Amino acid sequence: MANTEALALVRKLDDALARGDLEALRAQVAAGVEWAVPGRHPLAGTKCGPEEVAAYHRLLTKKGVRVETVALDAVDAGTVVRLQRATGTAPDGVALDSMELLVYRIEGGKVARVEAFIGDQHPVDLFYWAAFRLKRVSGCLAD
Amino acid sequence: MDHPNVVLVRKMWACLANLVGFGDGTGPVPGFEDPARMLRDEVFTADVKYHMPGHHPLSGVKEGADEVIAFFRQLALKVGLIQDAQQIYPFGEDGAVEIHRFYGARPEVKLAGTNCFTYQLRGGRIADIRVHNNIQPEIDNHFCSVWRYKPLPDRLAED
C-alpha cells in the first residue's frame, strides 16, 4: 500500500465515523480493530471492534465534542499520523481544549489500531468525568 | 465507654466484615448475623453517600446502602483489602473521624497506605462518608489495573 492509499483509507474512515455508518466503517477497519484512548475517565481504555469504535464516536458527538484536524499525513505505507484539536464544554461548564496526536496503524489494507497521545491528560480527564456518568458499581464493571 | 458515634462506625465495619468479608481480617464478628438489614435499617440513612476520590472504576459518589455494599463487595472480591491500626474518634457535634492502615490480603496486591475517613451523622445514623488518602496516583493506577469497565456504551448511565 502506498502512502497515498494509506491516507485515503484514513479519510474514508473519517467519513464513515462522521456519518455513523457502521457498514462503511467495517470496510475500512480490521474486524479486531483497537482504538486506544488514554487517561483515567469514563471513556478511557481500548475500544475493541467496529461496534465499540462507532459507539465511542457517537458518544463524543452526542456530548458536543468537536475535533479539528490540524495536520494529517502518511509517514509510511502503514502509518498515518493526525494532529488534532478537540474542544467541548460539559454541562457544568468544564471545558475541553486538547491537542492530540493519533497514530493509525494499517495492516492488510485496513486500519488495525489507532493510538491517541494527549498533550495534557489531567484536564482531559476532568472534562470526561464532567461530561459522562457511569452506571452504578454493579452495572459499569466487566465480569 | 465509647462515644455513640464511634460505636456506630464500629457497627458499620462489623456488618461489612460479616457481609462481604471486608475488615481487619479477623473474620465474622459475633452478634451481626443480619448485616445487610442492619446496615439499611440501623446504620445508614436511606440517602447515605460514600465519596470515593480518584479517577478509577470505583471512584465517585456511592448513594444508598445497596450501592455502598456493592462497592465493598468489589473491594473484598478483587483486592481483599485489610485495614488495621484502626483509630476512630468523635469529631464535631455529629461526626466521627477514622484513621486506619490498609493493605491487600493477597500477596500480589502491593498497595498499602493510610486512609482517613470522615463521617457525618444525621438522626443517629451515618449520612455521609468521605475517604481521604495521600497516595491517589498509586490508588488510581492499582484500581485501574484490577477493575475493567464494560465496553461502551454499556458502562454509561443514561442521561
Q: How far apart are the C-alpha atoms of B148 and A142, rounded to whole Å?
A: 6
On whether residue A25 sits in a domain, the answer given is yes
Give B151→chain A minimum CA distance, Å: 7
Q: Using alpha carbons, select from B159, B133, B158 the residue that is nearest to residue B56.
A: B133
CB B121 within 8 A of CB B6: no
pLDDT in tens, A106-123: 999 999 999 999 999 999
Q: How far apart are the C-alpha atoms of B5 and B126, rounded to whole Å?
A: 9
Q: Which of B67, B151, B152 sits opposite A137 (nearest CB)?
A: B67
Residue A97 touches partner B, C-beta closer than 8 Å: no
Output the pLDDT for position A72.
93
pLDDT band of residue A11 (cuts 50, 70, 90) is very high
What domains can you pick out in chain B, each with its CATH number?
4-146 (3.10.450.50)
Higher per-residue pLDDT: B141 or B107: B141
The 10 Å CB-count burial string (b at 16+, else e) for B44-53 is bbeebbbbbe
Whether pLDDT at B27 is above 80: no
Output the pLDDT for position B81.
77
Give A122→chain B minimum CA distance, Å: 10
pLDDT band of residue B108 (cuts 50, 70, 90) is confident
Q: Which residues contact B5 (CB under 8 A, 6 or more apart)?
A: B90, B91, B94, B95, B96, B119, B121
Q: What is the mean pLDDT of chain B?
A: 91
- By CB atoms closer than 10 A (0-12, 13-18, 19+), residue B133 is middle
Cβ contact A43–B152 (<8 Å): yes
pTM recorded for the entire structure: 0.83
Q: How far apart are the C-alpha atoms of B76 and B97, rounded to whole Å?
A: 22
Packing angle between helix A3-19 and helix A49-62, nearest 10 degrees?
Answer: 60
Strands ordered across the beta sheet of B125-133 = B60-63, B44-52, B125-133, B112-122, B95-104, B81-91
CB A42 within 8 A of CB A128: yes
φ, ψ dihedrals at B70, nearest 5°: -60, -40
Q: Which of B70, B153, B159 sits opposite A55 (nearest CB)?
A: B153
User: For chain A, where are the E strands, in sequence order?
Assistant: 29-37, 45-48, 66-76, 79-89, 95-107, 110-118
Q: What is the mean pLDDT of chain A?
A: 95
Higher per-residue pLDDT: B20 or A86: A86
Percent of chain B with pLDDT over 90: 67
Q: Which of B55, B70, B147 sits opposite A136 (nearest CB)?
A: B70
State the distance between the two ends of chain A, measured CA to CA, in whole angstroms: 40
Give A40→chain B minimum CA distance, Å: 5
The count of structural domains within chain A is: 1
Q: Using alpha carbons, select from A133, A39, A55 the residue that is nearest to residue A90.
A: A133
Output the pLDDT for position B107.
81
Cβ contact A40–B155 (<8 Å): no
Cβ contact B60–A134 (<8 Å): yes
pLDDT band of residue B63 (cuts 50, 70, 90) is very high
Cβ contact A141–B149 (<8 Å): yes
On whether residue A142 sits in a domain, the answer given is no
Cβ contact A137–B155 (<8 Å): no
pLDDT band of residue B84 (cuts 50, 70, 90) is confident
State the distance between the two ends of chain B, measured CA to CA, in whole angstroms: 49
Cβ contact B62–A137 (<8 Å): yes
Instruction: Name every chain A residue with its beta carbon within 8 A of the beta carbon of B69.
Output: none
For A124, half-sphere exposure in the C-beta direction (CA atoms, 13 angstrom radius) is: 21
ipTM: 0.79
A42-51, B27-36, B52-61: segment of lowest average pLDDT = B27-36
On whether residue A12 sits in a domain, the answer given is yes
Q: Containing domain of residue A53, as a range?
A: 3-134
Output the pLDDT for position B159.
75
Percent of chain B with pLDDT over 70: 100
Q: What is the DSSP letter of B111?
A: -
Q: How far apart are the C-alpha atoms of A87 and A21, rounded to whole Å?
A: 23
Q: How far apart are the C-alpha atoms of B96 and B99, rounded to whole Å?
A: 10
Cβ contact B55–A136 (<8 Å): no
Q: Do the strands B60-63 and B81-91 form a parallel or antiparallel pair, or are they unpaired?
A: unpaired
We report the CATH number of the domain holding residue A60 as: 3.10.450.50
Cβ contact A137–B71 (<8 Å): yes
Nearest CA in chain B to A44: B149
Residue A136 touches partner B, C-beta closer than 8 Å: yes
Cβ contact A45–B148 (<8 Å): yes
